[in-house]
């Protein structure tokens, strides 16, 4: 199909990984807000804005509240009952929910408040040029999510263990994965200090 930028693109499914317990932060990061919009809603909305034909939100901790936050969007949700196992477990749940699946997949987390739709479009277009069919976000000397991954890369991620598993798989692919620079996306909202820094930069609303 043709994208709104006039570039022919293949079908894209998006997966928003939003199952984590935010234990270090002490509050569900999925429900933090930017301009009054929860981060999980914002991530799902941006996935739709990037042309995803299907969006899956993987939920776990605070599942009812997270689902309620995206109820107005045309998205699906899947519960990861083993969310304590980390991001790689949520990727497995997503792959099972998508099977059989032979299209590119946009993998996202919801704790990157500096993300915008333009970066997601850049990843889509880069993935079409990559020999692996995959493109990832580069921050500093590493790459990670958001990333558009080919089915083969997604299957490789199934062997990953823990929160760094997918990132390790993307980095191991080297030049076969095109990297799109976005330094601000390397800032995760994992701790109260991260939260305070994001608020100071205008990426998140002040806590009430």
Domain boundaries, the chain: 12-200
pTM confidence score? 0.90
pLDDT tens track for 88-116? 888 889 888 988 777 889 999 999 999 99
pLDDT at 161: 60
Task: Please tell me the CATH code under which domain 12-200 is placed.
Answer: 3.90.550.10
pLDDT at 160: 58
Backbone angles phi, psi at 38, to 5 degrees: -65, 155
Q: What pLDDT digit, counting tens, does each position of 67-87 carry? A: 999 999 999 999 999 999 888
Q: List the one residue out of 161, 20, 172 whose CA is nearest residue 88.
A: 161
Sort 65 into a burial class: Cβ within 10 Å, 0-12 / 13-18 / 19+. Answer: middle
Q: Is the pLDDT of residue 4 over 60?
A: no
pLDDT category at 2 given cuts 50, 70, 90 is very low
């Amino acid at each position: 199909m043709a994208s709104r930028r006039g570039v022919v693109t293949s079908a894209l499914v998006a997966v928003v990984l939003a199952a984590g317990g935010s234990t270090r932060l002490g509050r569900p990061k999925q429900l933090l807000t930017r301009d009054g919009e929860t981060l999980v809603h914002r991530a799902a909305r941006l996935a739709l804005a990037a042309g995803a034909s299907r969006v899956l939100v993987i939920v776990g901790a605070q599942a009812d509240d997270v689902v309620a936050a995206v109820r107005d969007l045309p998205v699906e949700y899947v519960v990861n009952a083993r969310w304590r196992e980390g991001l790689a477990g949520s990727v497995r749940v997503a792959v099972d929910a998508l099977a059989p699946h032979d299209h590119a997949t946009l993998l996202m987390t919801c704790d990157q408040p500096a993300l915008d739709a333009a970066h997601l479009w850049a990843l889509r277009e880069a993935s079409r040029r990559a020999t692996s069919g995959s493109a990832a976000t580069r921050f500093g000397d590493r790459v990670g999510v958001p990333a558009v991954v080919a089915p083969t890369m997604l299957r490789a991620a199934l062997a990953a263990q823990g929160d760094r598993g997918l990132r390790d798989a993307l980095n191991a692919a080297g030049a076969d994965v095109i990297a799109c620079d976005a330094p601000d996306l390397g800032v995760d909202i994992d701790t109260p200090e991260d939260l305070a820094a994001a608020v100071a930069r205008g990426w998140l609303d002040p806590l009430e």
